[in-house]
Amino acid sequence: MQLDLVTVVVDEYDPAIAFFTGVLGFDLVDDSPSLTNDGRPKRWVVVRPPGAQTGILLARADGDHQRAAVGNQTAGRVGFFLRVDDFEATHRRLVAAGVTFLTEPRTESYGQIAVFLDIAGNKWDLLGPA
C-alpha cells in the first residue's frame, strides 16, 4: 500500500506547473486533458519530486468554495514537508528564485527546517538532515 497523490488546489495550472517544476525542481509526470464530473474541460496535472513515489495533483480551483481554499488548504498550518539532502544549497536556491520564507533556517532534533510558501500560499517545511 502507498499514498499515490495529494491534491493542491491552485488558481491556474501553468503558473503552478512552473513553480513546482522550475522552482522546486519537481518532475512533471502528467499533464493530460480531462473532464469534470459534469463534462467541463479540465486538466489532470501531476508533479512529483525526483525519485519520490507520492505526487501532487495540481487542481485548478472550480467555484467560489474551492477558490476560498487556495493557499489555505490546511487551515494555516504547515501541510507539506519537502525533505532534501542539501538543506543549505536548496534554501539558497529557493531564496534566489524568489520563494517566500516565513522563518529563518533553524536546527531541531529532527533536522534543519525553514517554513516557506508555495505559489498558492500553502505553508511547507523545507527539511534537511539533522
Write the pLDDT tens digit of every residue in 75-130: 999 999 999 999 999 999 999 999 999 999 999 999 999 999 999 999 999 999 98
Nearest alpha carbon to residue 87 among 52, 114, 110: 114
Domains and CATH numbers, the chain: 1-70 (3.10.180.10), 74-130 (3.10.180.10)
DSSP 103-128: S--EEETTEEEEEEE-TTS-EEEEEE
Pick from 3-12, 35-44, 85-94, 102-111: least confident? 35-44
Spatial CB neighbours of 18, under 8 Å, sequence gap ≥ 6: none
Bridge partners of residue 22, in order along the sequence: none
pLDDT the model gives residue 122: 97
C-alpha 110, offset from chain centre: 21
Helix and strand counts by DSSP (H, E) for the chain: 3, 8
Nearest alpha carbon to residue 130 among 114, 118, 106, 112: 112
Taking 90 as the threshold, does the pLDDT of residue 36 lie above it? no
Taking CA atoms, 32 is separated from 46, 72, 82, 88, in Å, by 9, 26, 25, 35
Model's pTM, two decimal places?
0.94
17: left (phi over 0), alpha (psi -120 to 50) or beta: alpha
